[in-house]
Amino acid sequence: MNNVLIIGAGKLGKGFIGEAFEKAKWNVTFLDKDPKVIKKLAEGSYQVDISTSDKVYTRVVKNYQQILTSDKHNEVDSFLASDLVMIPVYPEDLKDVFKYLIIDFKKMMEEKPDKKLDIILLTNKIYLVSKIKKFLSENVDPDLNSWLETHIFIHDAIIRRSTSADSNYALKLNSMAVASLLIEKPLHVDLSKVDWMEPIENVPTLKEVKIYGINGPHAATAFFGWYKNYKTIPEAQSDHEIQEFIKCINEEIYNVCQKEFNLTTAEYDHLTKLPSLKQEVPDPIKRVAYDPLRKLSINDRLCGPIRLSEKYGLDNECLIKAVALGLKYNDEDDPKSQEMQEMIKTKGVLTAIKEITGLDDNCANKILDQYEKL
């Protein structure tokens, strides 16, 4: 039986990754730094309500073990036994994860020096693999680094499935399963018997397209939905004004991607147009809008397309408004939202726009104009 170590037992870790591998009868081990997450998992099972394009069903996941990170590295045996490591954490936590794993890497080099291990990053941030490799090379000795380069294989992935819950430690989750996880090839492990896992070529470029084409409109929906006092994405999507706005967003992003990535319409649609759900899941706006500082940064879902639209002289009026709406987002439960509002208050709107988005003065002033009209 195969073994998977899942580092990060939050919503995505449990609701998608853990559920899929447990269903495929892999040995599943969760590793997490949050004692509350581990304590809840220790209750022995959790429930995932899964919505697909043709049915809605519930799975109870119970065949797993859970380990809390610690200085003792109690997970080391599970790490050494793993055929695959999946890391569904926020991008800003990745360096801490890999810093923690250095002890496990050393142990593997000592006890299983011939083993080759695939590690999959599951984030919505692009071009992270090279940064993680650089981080490791700067934080391990030359012998370990040389071994890592030929035995530990870090891959990117494209997430096209959202999972929601009341919190990271919730044992009842909703998962929207209409498209596979696209994983960077080549892999040293066979995933053919695990549902929703699809190894493919050219992940870095395709991920950029996906971030723009799927996450861009999704974020714009969340920001506009919050502005109009909706609580869930389906509520916002039912609003006629938001519908027309997202049509414009989709068109502007499609035109940018066609120019920059030279994709055909069929190629673009295959990656970004997902099947409809049999039953809508009330995905919270707070989940989709969470951490606006990251989602409004220069190479992310909205400002990335704006930067490229300026490069090619393409329309970006709706994207500009989406960023302005994002700057209005003020959720007291979201620390990054509060940090953004503090920046706007103390530095002034225009300076904050420039620092948050990284866009040039022309774009920043256009965003300011939209911001002041809201």
Strands 27-32 and 117-121: unpaired
Burial zone of 22 (CB within 10 Å; 0-12 exposed, 13-18 middle, 19+ buried) = buried
The token pair at 262 is 């030279």
Q: How confident is the model at residue 304 (pLDDT cuts 50, 70, 90)?
A: very high
The Cα–Cα gap between 102 and 150 comes to 15
The pTM of this model reads: 0.90
Give the contacts of 77 (CB within 8 A, at least 6 positions apart).
Answer: none
Q: How confident is the model at residue 281 (pLDDT cuts 50, 70, 90)?
A: confident
What confidence score (pLDDT) does residue 307 get? 98
The token pair at 250 is 């989709």
What confidence score (pLDDT) does residue 267 get? 87
Q: Which residue has the tokens 């420039």?
A: 354
Contact present, 329 and 282 (Cβ < 8 Å)? no
pLDDT digits (tens, 9 = 90+) for 135-169: 999 999 999 999 999 999 999 999 999 899 999 99
Sign of the alpha-carbon torsion through 238, 240, 245, 249: positive
Q: Which of 357, 244, 372 is nearest to 310 (CA)?
A: 357
What confidence score (pLDDT) does residue 259 get? 94
Give the contacts of 113 (CB within 8 A, at least 6 positions apart).
Answer: 147, 151
